[in-house]
Amino acid sequence: MTPSLRRFMAALCGLAIISAISGLLFVSAASAQNKSLKARAAPTAKSHVRRVPQPWVPNPSRDAYLIVDAASGRVLASDQPDEPRYPASLTKLMTLYLAFSALDSGKLAMNDALPVSINALNAPPTKMGMPPNGTVVVRDAVMGLVTRSANDAAVLLAEALGGSEEHFAEMMTAKARQLGMSSTVYRNASGLPNPEQVTTARDMARLANALLRDFPHYYPVFSVLSYNYRGRPLANHNRMLASYAGADGMKTGYTNASGYNLVMSAVRDNRRLIGVVMGGNTAFQRDRLMAELMDQGFATAEAQNISPWTSPHVPATARYSAANFVAGLDPVGLSGFTKAEPARALVPAAIAGSWVIQVGSFANSKAAQAALERATASLPASIRSHGAVSVDEVQVSDKTLHRARLTNLSQQEAIDGCKKLSQHKIYCSALQVGAWATTR
């Protein structure tokens, strides 16, 4: 064979080898693609697991806030009001909205005894301390939510109204849509961590406004600083009630993911503002920011000559009042709400100027007297000189309680005195009392 022929044959062999390798690679790639297509056509059970997107950073370093005028809805200050946030215990405002609605519709009665389920009993803290295998009346469950922010109370009410907490959360989300809360989704009744349970500062302001508008007869319960349950006080987590002039509700919230949240309302110079702060680094920082924003909001409202707050009427459908939760709470006296005409009277008119500081209800008169002595020692002399101490008996369900009060005060004395006591960790309520409330 000539050299040229040998070179020709070698070239042919090289081409054959390259062709063979290319064919093998093609087959291998086709096989791999086929397997991939088959895998997508017939996914495994694992591929059905839905990944929950988390497009925002939990507990962002920058607060979201919104300050609005309650009467006009005008925004007075805002920053990131539409950014998704975790609501934490602000969730309970919707739980309370549905509970108030159920009371007025007759689905719940104030003294209904709700059975304590395993789910409620095992709810993570914070709790109000329900009796195992026992019952809790609706009044106590609602006040446990308002003051202690009790997760067991949230589960209890959710199961009573929805059959299960999961179904109740669907009811909460549906109500949110009706109220215009387009960015809010609920997955539980308490606000315990769930990556799908989200809201915004704007939506929380809408909910706060709805509570003021739809349930003025219940709204004063948000001002209660302490509620006695089974012989122990449930202290309100909202310290703005005692530290910010004009504050009269609503709710705090905290989880690691949410940061420190607060929804509040306050009245000054016949104007009512609603404030929302979400994502605070500490409770102190959150409250300080809220106070600054509300102060600015009231100044802006005055400068812009915004129309004064028009008190909503108690609806004719109301079956109870705040006084049914805590004796002495009067929608007329405490929060400036007016009764509708010709709506039936829910609470007899209170005696003008008759205000008290209530420091608790106790199992015996000695404990009540001791609480009064401690409280009066912490009050300014100007308030002590006007007030008179009183321990009276009230019947709650089948129990006799001894109510400790400093009576005969003006509205301002009662409010200022209660704020002073709260600074000394003495929890109390400033109440306007009518003749009807002294014999209960």
Query: Across the 440 residues of the chain, what is the mean pLDDT of every consecutive 10-residue run?
Result: 53 50 44 40 36 46 90 96 96 98 96 96 95 96 97 98 98 98 97 96 98 95 93 91 91 94 94 96 93 96 91 91 84 42 33 66 79 85 77 63 80 82 75 42
pLDDT score of 387: 72
Residues of CATH 3.30.70.1070 domain(s) within the chain? Answer: 348-438
Own/partner contacts of 235-238, CB < 8 Å, gap of 24 or more, are 235/147, 235/148, 235/427, 236/146, 236/147, 236/148, 236/427, 237/147, 237/148, 237/149, 238/262, 238/264
Provide CB contacts within 8 A for 272, sequence distance 6+. Answer: 69, 70, 71, 212, 265, 266, 309
Task: Tell me which residue of 325, 257, 311 sits closest to 88, measured CA to CA.
Answer: 257
Is 92 known to be catalytic? yes
Given a contact cutoff of 8 angstroms between Cβ atoms, the answer to whether 326 and 335 are in contact is no
**From 92, 175, 251, 419, active-site residue:** 92
The one catalytic residue among 31, 35, 149, 164? 149
Q: What is the fold of 348-438?
A: Alpha-Beta Plaits (3.30.70)
DSSP state of 244: S
Catalytic residue at 35?
no
pLDDT of residue 420: 84
Is 89 labeled as catalytic in the residue annotation? yes
pLDDT, residue 363, reads 74
pLDDT of residue 60: 60
**Are 227 and 106 within 8 A, CB to CB?**
no
* CATH, range 64-303: 3.40.710.10
Tell me where in the chain the CATH 3.40.710.10 domain(s) lie.
64-303
Q: Is 250 left (phi over 0), alpha (psi -120 to 50) or beta?
A: alpha
Q: Catalytic residue among 89, 226, 422, 429, which?
A: 89
Q: What is the token pair recorded at 268? A: 């000054």
**CA nearest neighbour of 247 among 280, 208, 278, 217:** 208
How far apart (Å, rounded) are the C-alpha atoms in residues 393 and 262?
36
Residue pointed to by tokens 């495994």:
44
- SS3 (DSSP) at 60: coil
